[in-house]
């Protein structure tokens, strides 16, 4: 592991005092010094990420309709996602449970898992959520606030990038293991219009919380995790998210500098954004695997997540294939530089 191994020692600094010595999980970089520049490292040959293929995967997911947990579209799309990963050579499995929604109602959860090279002890995690929000509560039109979101960007884009990565790895091989995880029930947090006494963060990322609890319980190990959220929208720029900096500063530096070296610097500005509650947080805090989030940050506008966030306009026509390419090719380079 010539590329990332060189820097993984830095990820170990400061974690051991917070985790039992018997656990072989990698640590947080909280309090570490500025990460080293990595943009001069020689690039290994890496497969070309096909944005058109990823775009087709987005369209296929959206063709089922909004993937709201408990609906037929959700069930059928989940089956399709699993079939695609299986066709690309991964060992697939599901982690099902029933969770509790903001209003106290039962909420079915179906986390989808696809393991590449399942026999390998050396593993990384790439994740995204695949559910659609049940309510477009940030839509500029109040009449849409109870309508489901198509979630082309906020859900389908991350899954599409993972599917294209799995396809390329299947064709080209890899010397270590990847666990592609599609988290469910990420986007069913309390609607803006609901009257609720719960904390705003209580009902977000429920699927990843459940996954992280199970992973910790069985001693699951991975060197690091990268979560993808809204990685295809027009105008997306991916600033360095706060919790990612806190728990995986060195990995953030590697990803962002690789993006610049590959010519995607406009999409990955070397600046920080705020702290975002997302699926990487349970991976860090519960599973104790250093995880970072690739998530857009927009300055100005109705939301820092972009103009289509939690609106009925989150549709495939508002996806930019070049954004998909920037994210996908950067990750392909990362994993093949470590091959």
Helices (H) and strands (E) in the chain, counts: 8, 6
pLDDT of residue 301: 80
Question: CA–CA separation, 268 vs 297, rounded Å?
Answer: 10
Concatenating the DSSP letter of every residue in 218-241 gives TT---S-EEEE-S-SBTT----B-
Of all residues in the chain, the percent with pLDDT exceeding 70 is 87
CA pair distance 186, 191, nearest whole angstrom: 13
CATH number at residue 324: 3.40.630.10
pLDDT at 209 over 70: yes
Centre a 10 Å sphere on the Cβ of residue 232 and count the other Cβ atoms it contains. Answer: 31
For 47, the enclosing helix (H) or strand (E) is: none
In the chain, how many domains are there? 1
Rounded Cα distance, 219 and 196, in Å: 36
Q: Say which residue the tokens 């609720």 belong to.
A: 196
Collapsed DSSP state (helix, strand, coil) of residue 325: helix
Residue 201 confidence (pLDDT): 67
pLDDT of 198 strictly over 70: no
pLDDT for 200: 59
Q: Quick one: what percent of the chain has pLDDT higher than 90?
A: 84
**What pLDDT does residue 10 have?**
37
Nearest CA-CA partner of 293 in 334, 252, 237, 321: 252
- When pLDDT is averaged across residues 291-301 and rounded to a whole number, the result is 94
**Cβ pair 19, 27 in contact under 8 A:** yes
* Residue that is written with structure tokens 């919790």 in the block: 243
Query: What is the average pLDDT across 74-101?
Result: 98
Reading the block at residue 215, the tokens are 């992973």
Over range 103-122, report the average pLDDT. 97
Cα dihedral 134, 244, 210, 277, rounded to 10, equals: -40
Higher pLDDT, 23 or 226: 226
Q: Which domain holds residue 101?
A: 5-337
Tell me which residue has tokens 């695997």.
Answer: 289
Q: What pLDDT does 29 receive? A: 32
Distance CA 153, CA 295 (A): 11
Q: Would you say 287 and 216 are in contact if contact means Cβ atoms under 8 Å apart?
A: yes
| ∠ CA 109-240-129, rounded to 5° | 15
- Predicted confidence (pLDDT) per residue in 122-153, tens digit: 999 999 999 999 999 999 999 999 999 999 99
At residue 30, the pLDDT reads 27
Angle at 238 between CA 30 and CA 243, to 5 degrees: 20
Q: What is the pLDDT of residue 155?
A: 98
> Is 89 within 8 Å of 116 (Cβ atoms)?
yes
The stretch 277-283 carries a mean pLDDT of 98
Distance between CA atoms of 10 and 305, rounded to whole angstroms? 31
Q: How big is the chain, counted in residues?
A: 339
Q: Which of 176, 322, 180 is nearest to 262 (CA)?
A: 322
């Amino acid at each position: 592991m010539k590329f990332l191994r060189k820097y993984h020692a830095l990820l170990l600094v400061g974690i051991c005092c917070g985790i039992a010595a018997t656990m072989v999980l990698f640590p947080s970089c909280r309090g570490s010094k500025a990460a080293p520049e990595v943009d001069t490292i020689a690039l290994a040959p890496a497969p070309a990420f096909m944005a058109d293929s990823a775009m087709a995967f987005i369209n296929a997911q959206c063709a089922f309709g909004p993937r709201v947990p408990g609906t037929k579209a959700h069930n059928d799309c989940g089956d399709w996602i699993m079939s695609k990963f299986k066709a690309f050579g991964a060992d697939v499995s599901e982690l099902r449970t029933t969770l509790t929604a903001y209003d106290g109602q039962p909420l079915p959860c179906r986390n989808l898992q696809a393991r590449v090279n399942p026999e390998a002890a050396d593993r990384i995690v790439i994740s995204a959520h695949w559910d659609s929000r049940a309510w477009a509560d940030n839509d500029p039109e109040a009449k849409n606030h109870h309508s489901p979101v198509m979630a082309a960007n906020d859900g389908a884009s991350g899954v599409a990038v993972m599917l294209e990565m799995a396809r390329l790895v299947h064709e080209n091989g890899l010397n270590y293991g990847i666990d592609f995880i599609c988290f469910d029930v990420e986007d069913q947090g309390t609607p803006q219009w609901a009257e609720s006494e719960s904390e705003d963060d209580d009902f977000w990322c429920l699927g990843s919380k459940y996954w992280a609890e199970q992973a910790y319980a069985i001693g699951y190990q991975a060197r690091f995790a990268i979560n993808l959220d809204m990685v295809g929208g027009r105008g997306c720029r991916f600033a360095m998210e706060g919790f990612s900096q806190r728990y995986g500063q060195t990995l953030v530096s590697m990803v962002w500098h690789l993006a610049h070296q590959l010519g995607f610097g406009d999409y990955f500005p070397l600046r920080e954004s705020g702290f975002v509650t997302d699926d990487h947080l349970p991976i860090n805090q519960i599973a104790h695997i250093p995880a970072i989030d690739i998530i857009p940050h927009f300055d100005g506008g109705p939301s820092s997540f972009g103009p289509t966030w939690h609106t009925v306009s989150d549709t495939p026509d508002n996806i930019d294939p070049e954004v998909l390419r920037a994210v996908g090719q950067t990750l392909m380079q990362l994993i093949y530089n470590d091959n």
